[in-house]
Chain A
């Protein structure tokens, strides 16, 4: 903020240090703390002056597939037929939300963060059509930021599709954790026990943190 005279040293006045300090404080404060748009001429600060990541930060992470061959949800007995996928089956999954990825960020500041998750989702919907409504298959995605659920999608129901979910939230500085969870329909009476039911390929998260 611009400063006007806080104290004026006049000829023949005593060399009053308090008055001097007042004016000094105002002048120096203008330089140190008062940088606003009324003080800074246009284009004074170019991009080169701004420290990297001063205003925003972007993270893009890739995770391959879920479940991986080492996951507890990976059914080594699945995919017995030709051209079938091996992965999560009803022998390893009994329902409810399961964590499909977790990512920790340690360099965020206070501000807003945009979170995006994308993947290709394959579902086994063999019995969705033929075996009645209670066999309909689908998968839901939920995003959690520091344990707080930000969103829960509707059911994705197509046998294979690209999904992209985004959320926007306020975040504190320090370490923050993103978790992506997924839920698959529970086993119906006619479902196979050892066929891959829900599989994520090319999982990718992106966060854009913006702070001021």
Chain B
């Protein structure tokens, strides 16, 4: 009887529904896409970030779980700042020293509970804004920091203004230059009337009364202006000898990060002067945060523009904000866990300066509190527990519109833009995407991408969804999402979207707690257990790479590679076109790239059964040719290309012996290197139909 071959050349991704497409995979764990063949490539793993360390996981050796991670690039990646939190401390990975070291930026910080979002980071120009919902938000510049030889002083500053400047204290004006008064709180600096250009405060008309008040504000290193101080006490004097005067004013120093003080003053509001006592005008900037006093000799006619209103800058409105984002040059923050439907936004380019009216109340408790922001096209997406809103418009006239009242997420760290796909995020029931520009596209919308892998997404622990994290890597062309599964509180399972194949696969045994990437697309992750598992256990930062190992272990005085991750490919259940007819499968041909003498064995099943039959292992060499050279035995031939080899596409035949079946499935489970391009199944359909169903 003539055999028939079912040929599967283009392998697709994980598909857990029945019936399955013939090129799908029932199980697909620990694979990436081979860029030359489009097949599945097992050559992945992870290794420690600090490749220089040889015997311990220095400088991370003592660190427990890494809760959050941010790779903050400047200067096209030449200045890479890695920030992370672990057990209540915020660290800067200091790589400029002779040896890599950890520097504490902030200690005694809140340690997130098992279902709480860890610290979040939002780059804003040269700053990164760091928030965790408990501690005061931080803005951090990353660089410059002092050398390790001296006290480490990170460029860390509080975000926003937390205090109002105390009012300036003007000294009185003494009009008699010969006075030898014991009053030390008055000075006499006068400008006689033969100085013809305008200078000095007060009237030149003798006996007229002069009255002045001052306010002061701070300017910080983002150019943001603090709230105005209260008005100072009024000073007054009566003009004598037609002199005008300079006033001596004590001014407060600002908090760390203040670069200047700005002085405002009334015009002469005495009965003689006639100005309005509540109107203040710009006098001058004091361009330091050091001097404690200033002389004011600016005449009324030379004052600058009117002082900003008291609503133009307020104290920081949400000290317990959990996350922030940059949109239209404004820093958006949410109100914190106890005010979680409120959004505040700063003045454009001034992340510390919030006006009194710059907030949006999102309302609608049904969709729950805000859980994250993400700028997308001309919108700022606002993720909520059960919905998504979008903020549109320009400062100061932002408005909010609902996008979805059904789908939302608490997995803030999974919201990622994937080129060509849209914004991906993990909800409690799977992965969704927001596609197209909602403003211009004719097909915008929210779409679930994982309806076909619900066996996997059902494993999500929705209570700890906030711990999930994701990143897109242009280098791997993959979206990696790690989430707590099977009731765990930390990410235990990875879901990888392969943009090239538009397919999902799983990552297992990658101990990811948080994930980020550098500017070229290397994926970094923080270990989800670290030193908590014991001394010499893997701790700190790791990198997903082609290292064929699941990290390293300390053995004696050395770090040695762990075993490679096990990659599993399980084919779909093949019915060869008609499940009612019994088939006898003779061979499975794997189309692979030759890899050498490491063998791959094949297991197979029939009719959805559990019993696995395993074929003998076959090495990945062409069956009817001489073997290619392999490491360990290859001999270098001078003057020739020997021993270099190229991987060939070849078919490896595995015999199958399981009798007849309606459905057939095979499985590969290996820690060896394998590029699976496709496969074929050779079978004979005998014409025998399945027997009648059973009766009771």
User: Contacts of A4 on B, CB cut-off 8 Å?
Assistant: 47, 51, 522, 543, 545, 547
Q: Is the CB of B631 within 8 A of A9?
A: yes
Q: Is the CB of A41 within 8 A of B632?
A: no
In chain B, positions 608-629 with a C-beta closer than 8 Å to chain A are: 621, 628-629
Interface size on B, residues (CB 8 A): 42
Contacts A14-B595, A14-B630, A36-B78; A8 near B43 (Cβ below 8 A): yes
Q: Is the CB of B520 within 8 A of A17?
A: no
User: Contacts of B6 on A, CB cut-off 8 Å?
Assistant: none
User: Contacts of A22 on B, CB cut-off 8 Å?
Assistant: 546
Bound complex: CA A12 to CA B596 (Å): 6
24 contacts between A and B (CB under 8 A): A4-B47, A4-B522, A4-B547, A5-B547, A6-B545, A7-B43, A7-B546, A9-B631, A10-B673, A12-B597, A12-B631, A12-B632, A13-B597, A13-B630, A14-B630, A14-B631, A14-B645, A20-B644, A22-B546, A37-B79, A38-B80, A38-B95, A40-B96, A42-B147
Q: Is the CB of B47 within 8 A of A15?
A: no
B366 at the interface (CB under 8 A from A): no
Contacts A7-B546, A10-B673; A42 near B148 (Cβ below 8 A): yes
- Select which of B45, B51, B98, B646 is within 8 A of A2 by beta carbon: B51
In chain A, positions 14-52 with a C-beta closer than 8 Å to chain B are: 14-18, 20, 22, 36-38, 40-43
The chain A residue with its CB closest to the CB of B79 is A37
- Select which of A8, A17, A40, A43 is within 8 A of B645 by beta carbon: A17
Bound complex: CA A8 to CA B148 (Å): 35
In chain A, positions 178-195 with a C-beta closer than 8 Å to chain B are: none
The chain B residue with its CB closest to the CB of A6 is B546
Bound complex: CA A69 to CA B239 (Å): 58
User: Contacts of B647 on A, CB cut-off 8 Å?
Assistant: 14, 16, 18
Question: Digit string of B87-114 for contact with A (CB within 8 Å is 1, else 0)?
Answer: 0000000011111000000000000000
User: Contacts of B79 on A, CB cut-off 8 Å?
Assistant: 36-37
In chain A, positions 134-187 with a C-beta closer than 8 Å to chain B are: none
A131 at the interface (CB under 8 A from B): no
Q: Is the CB of A16 within 8 A of B645?
A: yes
- Ranked nearest first, the 9 interchain pairs of A and B with the lowest CB-CB distance are A5-B547, A17-B644, A13-B596, A38-B95, A4-B545, A14-B596, A12-B597, A5-B545, A36-B78
B518 at the interface (CB under 8 A from A): yes
Bound complex: CA A18 to CA B522 (Å): 20
A1 at the interface (CB under 8 A from B): yes
In chain B, positions 503-559 with a C-beta closer than 8 Å to chain A are: 518, 520, 522, 543, 545-548
The chain B residue with its CB closest to the CB of A212 is B75
Bound complex: CA A42 to CA B672 (Å): 40
Q: Is the CB of A15 within 8 A of B631?
A: yes
Q: Is the CB of A16 within 8 A of B43?
A: no
Bound complex: CA A40 to CA B96 (Å): 7
The chain B residue with its CB closest to the CB of A23 is B546
A82 at the interface (CB under 8 A from B): no
Indicate the member of B45, B597, B631, B634 with the most A CB atoms within 10 Å. B631
Q: Is the CB of A42 within 8 A of B51?
A: no
Q: Is the CB of A42 within 8 A of B96?
A: yes
Bound complex: CA A43 to CA B631 (Å): 40
Bound complex: CA A37 to CA B45 (Å): 27
CB contacts between A and B, total, < 8 Å:
98
Bound complex: CA A42 to CA B152 (Å): 15
- Select which of B47, B97, B543, B548 is within 8 A of A10 by beta carbon: B548
B21 at the interface (CB under 8 A from A): no
Contacts A8-B547, A9-B631, A42-B148; A15 near B643 (Cβ below 8 A): yes
Bound complex: CA A42 to CA B51 (Å): 17
Bound complex: CA A107 to CA B47 (Å): 47
| Least distance between B82 CB and chain A CB atoms (Å) | 9
B594 at the interface (CB under 8 A from A): yes
B598 at the interface (CB under 8 A from A): yes
Q: Is the CB of B629 within 8 A of A1?
A: no
A54 at the interface (CB under 8 A from B): no
Q: Is the CB of A13 within 8 A of B595?
A: yes
B396 at the interface (CB under 8 A from A): no
Question: Digit string of A41-76 for contact with B (CB within 8 Å is 1, else 0)?
Answer: 111000000000000000000000000000000000
Q: Is the CB of B98 within 8 A of A43?
A: yes
| Least distance between A44 CB and chain B CB atoms (Å) | 9
Q: Is the CB of A42 within 8 A of B595?
A: no
A11 at the interface (CB under 8 A from B): yes
User: Contacts of A42 on B, CB cut-off 8 Å?
Assistant: 96-98, 147-148
Bound complex: CA A7 to CA B34 (Å): 12
Indicate the member of A11, A14, A37 with the most B CB atoms within 10 Å. A14
Q: Is the CB of A14 within 8 A of B629?
A: yes
Q: Is the CB of B95 within 8 A of A16?
A: no
The chain A residue with its CB closest to the CB of B542 is A4
Q: Is the CB of A12 within 8 A of B97?
A: no
B125 at the interface (CB under 8 A from A): no
| Least distance between A102 CB and chain B CB atoms (Å) | 36
Bound complex: CA A4 to CA B475 (Å): 13
Q: Is the CB of A15 within 8 A of B96?
A: no
User: Contacts of B634 on A, CB cut-off 8 Å?
Assistant: 15
Bound complex: CA A36 to CA B99 (Å): 14
Q: A11-B632, A17-B644, A42-B147 are in contact. List 12 more A-B contacts (CB 8 A).
A: A1-B77, A1-B518, A4-B543, A11-B631, A12-B632, A14-B631, A17-B646, A18-B646, A38-B96, A41-B99, A42-B96, A43-B98
Indicate the member of A13, A41, A43 with the most B CB atoms within 10 Å. A13
Q: Is the CB of A15 within 8 A of B645?
A: yes
Q: Is the CB of B77 within 8 A of A36?
A: yes
Bound complex: CA A169 to CA B45 (Å): 50
